[in-house]
Amino acid sequence: MFLKNSWYVAAWSRELGDTPLARTLLDQPVVMYRAGNGAVVALEDRCCHRHLPLSMGAVVGDDLQCGYHGLKFDASGVCVEVPGQSSVPPGAMVRSYPVVEKFHWVWIWMGDPDKADEALIPDWWWADHPDWASARPGPLYIKCNYRLIADNVMDVSHLNYVHKSSIGSLATHEFPVVTEREDGKIRMTRWIYDRPPPPMYRKAGNFAGNVDRWQIAEHIPPCFSTNEAGCAEIGHGHEDRETGGGMKIFALSAPTPETGRTTHYFFAFVRCFGLDDPELDQMFQVGMVDVFREDVAILEAQQAMMEFKPGANQIDINVDAAPIAARQMLDGMIAAEQAGRGNRGG
């Protein structure tokens, strides 16, 4: 069961051109392409004639032509031409989806089109700002439910085990994690004072000794998370976090369900330091993706075991507070949507 009335990331902008791209999203086959005028179009990937995926056809001007009998569909999904006959049969159309290009991503609305308000896209302005450098790898295809990814991103304790050689540090355990719930968001905050930075941050920020650090994750249902990680000289953490001193990065996370057991994982890293440093570019474009691959191994193994024995007993520990709060918030939104009470989409 997915939340329908929400934006989801469907593709990187760079993935789309005049060749149709097929992608299943929320169990729906979707085809996307860039029309002759440059606008992104997203249609149901199933011809209304004999159900060939339209992605097997070709872009012709602003339209998409089916590869079987040549029916042409415009950007609104209406069939505008049937080769060999002068009229188009009534009801000849496929579904079209609202799309918006923002932050180098294509966002799609899979629910009621009348509720598709661009203002509901998370305000990830760093992803498109000259004072911030961005790494835009992926997407990764992960064989797990998208909620496992949200759990993982909201849980900083796993860094010390899954990522111990890169962004983990066992020196963090004694510092408490605070979970807050407000305005349709879950926030998880941990401040770590006067401790060594993890290996990757030591290198990125050129720190010689101990540092003050912060880990702040914010989650907006159904699947949008930001992980802010920062390091500063001892005694300067709070000040540097406000002023942009020290080292601050955001991991932007938007796992889009393909099905209930597979996910297209879109993510980006943005940073406000070393903007013109190619070594740092490489660290985030390649090194951090390798860090995420460590998560992929965990997530896919988790999913497989959950499918092997569905409903097996599980317990909760303190670090689960934020992921549980995020799941509860999403459950409430899905229940409201199913009951026809609407959600933040209306």
Q: Which residues contact ligand FES by CB under 6 A?
A: 47, 49-50, 52, 66, 68-69, 71
Nearest distance from C-beta of residue 155 to Fe ion, angstroms: 8
Amino acid residing at 234: I
Nearest distance from C-beta of residue 83 to ligand FES, angstroms: 9
Instruction: Identify which of 100, 54, 52, 89 has the alpha carbon closest to the alpha carbon of residue 74.
Output: 54
15 vs 81 by CB, closer to ligand FES? 81
Residue 321's CB is within 10 A of a number of other CB atoms, namely 17
53 vs 196 by CB, closer to ligand FES? 53
Between strands 7-12 and 105-109, the pairing is: antiparallel
Nearest distance from C-beta of residue 47 to ligand FES, angstroms: 3
Amino acid residing at 278: P
User: What interhelical angle do 146-153 and 288-308 show, nearest 10?
Assistant: 130
Q: Does 240 bind Fe ion (CB under 5 A)?
A: no
Q: Is the peptide bond before 222 cis (omega within 30 degrees of 0)?
A: yes
Residue 68 contact partner, candidates Fe ion, ligand FES, none, CB within 5 to 8 A by sort of partner: ligand FES
52 vs 171 by CB, closer to ligand FES? 52
Residue 223 contact partner, candidates Fe ion, ligand FES, none, CB within 5 to 8 A by sort of partner: none
45 vs 295 by CB, closer to Fe ion? 295
CA 50 to each of CA 45, 66, 68: distance values in angstroms, whole numbers, following the listed order: 12, 10, 8
Cα separation of 222 and 3, whole Å?
Answer: 7
Q: In the numeric block, which tokens belong to residue 307?
A: 């499918």
Nearest distance from C-beta of residue 122 to ligand FES, angstroms: 37
Nearest distance from C-beta of residue 95 to ligand FES, angstroms: 15
Q: Does 155 bind Fe ion (CB under 5 A)?
A: no
Amino acid residing at 299: L
Residue 49 contact partner, candidates ligand FES, Fe ion, none, CB within 5 to 8 A by sort of partner: ligand FES
Residue 100 contact partner, candidates Fe ion, ligand FES, none, CB within 5 to 8 A by sort of partner: none
- Contact (CB, 8 A) for 198 and 230: no
Cα separation of 152 and 338, whole Å?
Answer: 27
CA 27 to each of CA 78, 130, 256, 341: distance values in angstroms, whole numbers, following the listed order: 22, 37, 11, 23
Nearest distance from C-beta of residue 48 to ligand FES, angstroms: 8
95 vs 236 by CB, closer to ligand FES? 95
DSSP per residue over 123-171, as a string? --GGGG-TTSEEE---PEEESS-HHHHHHHHT-GGGHHHHTTTTT--GG
Residue 295 contact partner, candidates Fe ion, ligand FES, none, CB within 5 to 8 A by sort of partner: Fe ion
81 vs 101 by CB, closer to ligand FES? 81
Nearest distance from C-beta of residue 17 to ligand FES, angstroms: 22
Residue 211 contact partner, candidates ligand FES, Fe ion, none, CB within 5 to 8 A by sort of partner: none
Residue 47 contact partner, candidates Fe ion, ligand FES, none, CB within 5 to 8 A by sort of partner: ligand FES
74 vs 295 by CB, closer to Fe ion? 295
Residue ranges in 242-301 that form contacts with Fe ion under rule CB under 5 A: 295
DSSP per residue over 45-87, as a string? SS-TTT---GGGSEEETTEEE-TTT--EE-TTSBEEE-TT-SS
63 vs 295 by CB, closer to Fe ion? 295
Cα separation of 191 and 235, whole Å?
Answer: 12
Residue 254 contact partner, candidates Fe ion, ligand FES, none, CB within 5 to 8 A by sort of partner: none
50 vs 238 by CB, closer to ligand FES? 50
Nearest distance from C-beta of residue 35 to ligand FES, angstroms: 19
> Footprint of Fe ion on this chain (CB under 5 A)?
295
